Chain A
Amino acid sequence: MTGSSLERVVLVTGGSRGIGLACARHFLALGDRVAVTYRSTPPPAEDERLMALTCDVTEPDQVEEAFSQVEARWGPVQVLVANAGITRDLLLLRMKEDDWAAVVDTNLSGAWRVAKRAVGPMVRARSGRIVLISSVSGLMGVPGQSNYAAAKAGLVGLGRSLARELASRQVTVNVVAPGVVDTDMLRSLGEARVAEMKALVPLGRVAAPEEVAAAVGFLASTAASYITGAVLAVDGGLGMGL
């Protein structure tokens, strides 16, 4: 089996299903020690090797608690995948203050919070990997996703600023922009919308979460040591050129 046998400590937020779970399983298969956070849905029982932590990334205390628990068990987080995210799709005219705030607080501020907490030990260790899960929506814009797309695009600015701040300490920060991925989040949008989106994808299909996890895994690997501030689209060509 190829890959690192470095047994790194990995934390994936929103790692109990979808892209997050696929990422977690990817790292587990490499032999890493993997913790996932979730808000309400725990990971499947068969993923028993995962350290599963309840954590709402909109709550700084819970973020602190989650990190403390991982550190107590395995030591500092060496690879952070900031993946926790929600949608509240509504056309702007129908979108309420809370629909905006909740999505931005979870998807963008949540990533900021976990990155902030992870960075200290990474800086001291002079090594680390942060991967932020953005979305092709953030780059293209999507009707009904003014909140989601804004937050996801925001992750690019966040990621690149952190990439520049932390580069001198060999901490790389990159962004993965998935396109249409087969997850609960996608299914919640309804068949009609999914079909619409699929029709726009040059490769003509939706992605499996594992295909996004592979990109995340690559960026977290030693092979990607010279890659920082990059936005890697895993979207079947949907957002190419953006």
Chain B
Amino acid sequence: MDNEAAFDKFKSCTVEVLQVKPEQVTPDARFADDLDADSLDLVELVMALEEAFDITVDESELEGVETVEQAFSLISSKL
């Protein structure tokens, strides 16, 4: 899967789980501040991404992931 396609897929998961508009999902968007995501939202998002990309994300890997770019980076590293 190429990077753009992966980001589109990542974006649509984010839009669906966090109930935000696609335009809001920019690389520097912060989950908590900009996308209004609480901790449960993030758990849901990780689960949705795991399913969509057929990967597993360890709890420890989520440490310090605060922006869309950081999250996408983590996902891409597993593809």
Contact = CB atoms under 8 A, between A and B. Distances in A.
Interface in A148-168: 165-166, 168
A169 B38 CA distance: 11
Interface residues of B, number: 4
B44 interface: yes
A169 B17 CA distance: 13
Q: Which of B38, B40, B44, B47 has the most CB of A within 10 A?
A: B40
A209 to B, nearest CB: 35
A124 B40 contact: no
B40 A165 contact: yes
Interface string B38-79: 101000100100000000000000000000000000000000
B40 A120 contact: no
A161 B20 CA distance: 28
A168 B40 contact: yes
A123 interface: yes
Contacts of B40: 123, 165-166, 168-169
Interface in A117-150: 120, 123-124
A120 B38 contact: no
A120 B47 CA distance: 9
A112 B40 CA distance: 18
A127 to B, nearest CB: 14
A235 B60 CA distance: 44
A168 B38 contact: yes
A123 B44 contact: yes
A123 B43 CA distance: 10
Interface of A: 120, 123-124, 165-166, 168-169
Interface of B: 38, 40, 44, 47
Given A123-B44, A168-B40, 7 more contacts: A120-B47, A123-B40, A124-B44, A165-B40, A166-B40, A168-B38, A169-B40
9 contacts: A120-B47, A123-B40, A123-B44, A124-B44, A165-B40, A166-B40, A168-B38, A168-B40, A169-B40
A-B residue pairs, 8 tightest by C-beta: A123-B44, A168-B40, A168-B38, A123-B40, A169-B40, A165-B40, A120-B47, A124-B44
